Structure 1
Amino acid sequence: MADIVLNVEVRERTGTGGARVARREGLVPGVLYGGDKDPVAISVKMNEFKKALYTGKLLGHLVTLKYGSETQPVIAKAVDMHPVTDTPWHFDLYRVDAHQQIKIEVPLHFQNHEASPGLKRGGTLNVALHEVELMVPADQIPEALVIDLTGLDIGDSVRSGALTLPKGAKLSAHDRDAVVASVATSSAMQSGEAAEEETPDAAS
């Protein structure tokens, strides 16, 4: 899942002064922590960090930290924004082991709309959840969970318990038996049915 790579530099100066120096040099200061190692003050070029942040796949997701020729998986735990300029001000990265259980939100993607009888008849797909929270090994985190709409008719729904999860993954308690999506009658269908009811019978 880690398709975002953050090229980091190690900051020699820590604290507020070090962070201020980093920002003057066009960098976003941050901290790498977790595991059995000490925290490390790091930084990333502002333009690279913004690009990663605005993909929507940075915060709370598994990303690859790169320092020189070394790489390691990390979770972006927090990103602080400047209250006035709304630019990235500071970030926290958390070290993870490849097989460590991670709590993470994974997006849901829907496919085969054309194979749903209900949608072909003009129904509407009502999406209740756009993502679900999983406990999953770090090396098994999926880009998304795919839901097949084949065969769904008006009134049918998909529950989270029917999702195909990666090996070793479990849904968090609050998402364990939730309605993910349903196929409902659209307003256009309702209008059409109402018009048919109002049309006088030609034989009368």
Structure 2
Amino acid sequence: MAGEIPDLQAQERTGTGKGAARQARRAGMVPGIVFGGDVDPLPINIPFNVLLKRLKKGRFKSTLFNLQVEGQDDVRVICRDVQRDVVKDLPTHVDFMRLRRTTKINLFIPVEFINLEDCPAIRKGGVMAVVRNEVEMIVTAGEIPDHLTVDMGKVENVGDTVTISDVDLPEGSKLVISDRDFVICNVSAPSALKSSGDDEDEEDAVEATEEGEGEEA
């Protein structure tokens, strides 16, 4: 079922048009609109600092929000557009779309790694490197998974990789990138061990060269 959906507070905006929008910006707000869901569009204002902070976190257009507007029922929304000042690149207007529970949307789902302490490859001295800690998926708004689970207890050997085909996907969801088996994580030898191995290979190569020169002499 759905994980924790972040709240986003807004105010209902009185008045529409450029005049009301300019007044909102002077008051430190960013005007916006909420549409869809077979109800009338709702003009809103969002505090500039709140919106800017959310934008800087990234993934704004692929994050599902629980929009809270005083006097209105909470509603799940996803951003459809952010208009920005052409010079300052700061948000000047934002559009949100209401979602039905059956709506299909693209979201980044976090990856959770379990059984690290029981991972045979790590017990053998391997070091896990995470390549993707989230995966973009097409999910149903009413059935958003908390996370994807990677069971590291099944990774046997140093040098093994875990790809997306090794992960059980939640029912009703599918990958946005479905044409390749991309890597989620791998378990490699410690860097110190690698360096030691490289040094030994180099020494062997030098000794072989010296022996060859001696034979020619």
Instruction: Assess same fold via TM > 0.5.
Output: yes
Among candidates 154, 158, 169, match of residue 154 of structure 1? 158
84-93 or 22-31, which deviates more: 84-93
Instruction: Call closer, same or farther: CA 1:111–1:8 in 2, change over 3 Å.
Output: same
2:96 is matched with: 93
1:8 is matched with: 10
1:174 is matched with: 178
- Are 1:49 and 2:54 an aligned pair? no
CA distance in 1, matches of 2:56, 2:6: 11
Q: Secondary structure at the match of 1:21?
A: helix
1:25 is matched with: 27
CA distance in 2, matches of 1:177, 1:194: 30
Q: Secondary structure at the match of 1:140?
A: coil
- Are 1:102 and 2:105 an aligned pair? yes
CA distance in 2, matches of 1:140, 1:72: 15
Q: Secondary structure at the match of 1:118?
A: helix
CA distance in 1, matches of 2:164, 2:121: 20
What is the TM-score normalised by the length of structure 1? 0.79
- Are 1:190 and 2:194 an aligned pair? yes
Over the residues paired in the alignment, what is the CA RMSD in angstroms? 2.9
CA distance in 2, matches of 1:56, 1:186: 32
Contact 1:2-1:62 at 8 Å conserved across structures? no
Query: How high is the sequence identity, in percent, across the aligned residues?
Result: 36
Q: Which amino acid aligns with 1:46?
A: F
Alpha-carbon offset, residue 68 of structure 1: 1.9
CA distance in 2, matches of 1:7, 1:190: 51
Alpha-carbon offset, residue 117 of structure 1: 3.0
Contact 1:161-1:176 at 8 Å conserved across structures? no
Contact 2:111-2:135 at 8 Å conserved across structures? yes
Alpha-carbon offset, residue 26 of structure 1: 1.4
Alpha-carbon offset, residue 113 of structure 1: 3.1
- Structure 1, gaps ≥5 residues long: 200-204
Instruction: Call closer, same or farther: CA 1:54–1:112 in 2, change over 3 Å.
Output: farther
Alpha-carbon offset, residue 95 of structure 1: 0.8
Alpha-carbon offset, residue 25 of structure 1: 1.0
CA distance in 2, matches of 1:91, 1:119: 46
Deviation digits for residues 19-54 of structure 1 (CA, Å, limit 9, x no counterpart): 221111111111212333343321112233344444
Q: Give the structure with the higher percent helix.
A: 2
Alpha-carbon offset, residue 85 of structure 1: 4.7
CA distance in 2, matches of 1:149, 1:105: 21
Deviation digits for residues 163-201 of structure 1 (CA, Å, limit 9, x no counterpart): 2333311223436632322222343221133456659xx
Contact 2:82-2:94 at 8 Å conserved across structures? yes
Instruction: Call closer, same or farther: CA 1:17–1:111 in 2, change over 3 Å.
Output: farther
Larger Rg: 2
Alpha-carbon offset, residue 86 of structure 1: 5.1
Contact 1:160-1:175 at 8 Å conserved across structures? no
Contact 1:129-1:180 at 8 Å conserved across structures? yes
How many residue pairs get aligned? The number is 200
What is the TM-score normalised by the length of structure 2? 0.75
